[in-house]
Amino acid sequence: MRTKFTKTVESNDLFGVRQALADEMLIDPRGNSFKEMLAYAEEHLPDLYETDNGTPYAQDESEWTKDLLHNLKYDLSKNFSREKLTLFVKMAQYVLKDKAERLDQEEKEKLRTASDQDTLEHSAGQHKGVYAGVAIAGITVAVTGICISKMAVTTLGLAGVVIGGVLYLKNNRK
């Protein structure tokens, strides 16, 4: 929930709170953030709702349009009743269902992209460990070769140090 909204609630700005709630349903018709905001407002503002003035609205979803939704939002700004808000939420979710699906898809894409990035970073981290291990093993083999006076073993160990070190440094620069 946004800090601006909580400050609006805390300052007892009923018009601002009501406007923010209605706007949130148009911004994100899935309603998740709206529900959180509404619960916060209801908890802190006992006079959030007004008595419904009885203005009739189409209850049949087949008659719901974006124009009707915006008209209801306007009427909600004049008479913020629980009945109007409930209808407004249902109408927004119905009329803006394509937008809600698009937002879901974008969210899934962001999560997938973040997951892919984490996988790449984790993979790179694993390679660093392997490269460091090759360099350390090379040092061990080189020291062993020196101790047993075997030039071939020493050379092999030094090659491992160089190869592991180069790969480690190259991977660190990415």
Query: Residue 50 in 3-state DSSP?
Result: strand
pLDDT interval class at 152 (50, 70, 90): confident
pTM to 2 decimals?
A: 0.64
Residue 130: name the closest of 141, 118, 138, 120 by CA. Answer: 138
CA distance 140 to 74: 78
Q: What is the pLDDT of residue 168?
A: 74
Name 96's Cβ contacts closer than 8 Å, sequence gap at least 6. 26, 29, 66, 69
For 50, phi then psi, to 5°, come to -110, 165
Mean pLDDT value of segment 59-65? 95
Residue 81, SS3 per DSSP: strand
Q: What's the pLDDT at 167?
A: 77
CB 82 within 8 A of CB 52: yes
